[in-house]
């Protein structure tokens, strides 16, 4: 069986491990800094196996990275979550130090793994991991667009009163307030939502999608979203582990695509065995390109402000 290491046993990490185990995608190692927590949650999931009928192995480790050796995929969720009133930018300095330490251990113990970054600020953390591990850029991918698109699709379904099973959404750009929902590439059974609702409604839904994470943070009071983020990163991991070659919006290191270079940004990606296989360059309208430019500039500016690149 394949092997996945989850670094971070909080809500996102533990829920993702549960999903991986129940799908029998891989055996899982869960690593965290909290004594006993990863081992306790892992044992709880093992004891769930007889009920849910899965045989995936789940083990937990505290600050010992050696069990991750041989991992095919490493998912990083460790770090501080946003609190009410805190922007993703505020998280950078604290989480960058955490990711640097984790990346060194990934490089040492799982040098052939594909890394999926979940920690915020997502695009910057993916870049930090890419640089610290020295991995090829196709093996360090950020989970952003899958989640953002899921939120957009959910709101489209609510507005139209239609099943989300028939909705495919596309959200590009940085994972934050400048993300770029793409209505023209968001469809219901192949029909663009631009044919199904007016621009004002689409704009309202797009704005809610941009603020989707903050909306949940505000409602929860403490903590942030974890059900949809965990499902999103597991979808990416599944594509890699099973070699499915799925087209997802994801944060990828760009080398001239869309006119950008040297940083991570959400773009349409083909993801399968070995990680990122291809970036799809869409033919964008002037308005769509302007929105993507705005988001790309926000990410590159933030990188410069914190001394990256």
Asked about 175 being catalytic, the answer comes back as: yes
**Which among 121, 197, 189 has a CA at the least distance from the CA of 158?**
197
Q: What's the burial of 248, exposed, middle or buried (CB within 10 Å: 0-12/13-18/19+)?
A: buried
DSSP structure class, residue 228: H
134 — phi, psi (to 5°)?
A: 75, 10
Q: 82, 109, 175, 210: which is the annotated catalytic residue?
A: 175
**Which among 148, 150, 156 has a CA at the least distance from the CA of 183?**
156
**What is the rounded distance in angstroms from the CA atom of residue 108 to the CA atom of residue 229?**
27
Q: Give me the residue label for tokens 């940004």.
A: 265
Number of Cβ within 10 Å of residue 5's Cβ equals 29
With DSSP H G I counted as helix, E B as strand and the rest as coil, what are the percentages for the chain, rounded to 5?
50, 20, 30
Residues with catalytic function: 175
């Amino acid at each position: 069986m394949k092997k996945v290491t989850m670094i971070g046993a909080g809500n996102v990490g533990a829920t993702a491990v549960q999903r991986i185990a129940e799908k029998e995608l891989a055996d899982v190692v869960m690593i965290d800094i909290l004594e006993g927590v990863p081992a306790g949650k892992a044992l709880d999931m093992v004891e769930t196996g007889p009920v849910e009928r899965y045989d995936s192995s789940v083990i937990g480790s505290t600050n010992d990275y050696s069990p991750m050796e041989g991992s095919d995929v490493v998912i990083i969720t460790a770090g501080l979550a946003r609190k009410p009133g805190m922007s993703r930018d505020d998280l950078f300095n604290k989480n960058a130090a955490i990711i640097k330490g984790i990346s060194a251990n990934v490089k040492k113990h799982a040098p052939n793994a594909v890394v999926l970054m979940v920690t915020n600020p997502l695009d910057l953390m993916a870049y930090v991991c890419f640089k610290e591990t020295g991995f090829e850029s196709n093996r360090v991918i950020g989970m952003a667009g899958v989640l953002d698109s899921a939120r957009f699709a959910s709101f489209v379904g609510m507005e139209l009163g239609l099943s989300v099973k028939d909705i495919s959404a596309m959200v590009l750009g940085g994972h934050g307030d400048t993300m770029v929902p793409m209505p023209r590439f968001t469809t219901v059974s192949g029909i663009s939502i631009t044919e199904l609702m007016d621009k004002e409604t689409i704009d309202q839904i797009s704005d809610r999608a941009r603020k989707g994470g903050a909306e949940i943070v505000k409602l929860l009071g403490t903590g942030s979203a974890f059900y949809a983020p965990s499902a999103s990163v597991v979808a990416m991991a599944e594509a890699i582990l099973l070699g499915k070659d799925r087209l997802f919006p994801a944060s990828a290191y760009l080398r001239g695509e869309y006119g950008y270079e040297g940083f991570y940004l959400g773009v349409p990606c083909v993801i399968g065995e070995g990680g990122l296989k291809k970036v799809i360059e869409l033919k964008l309208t002037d308005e769509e390109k302007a929105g993507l430019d705005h988001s790309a500039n926000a990410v590159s500016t933030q990188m410069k402000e914190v001394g990256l690149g």
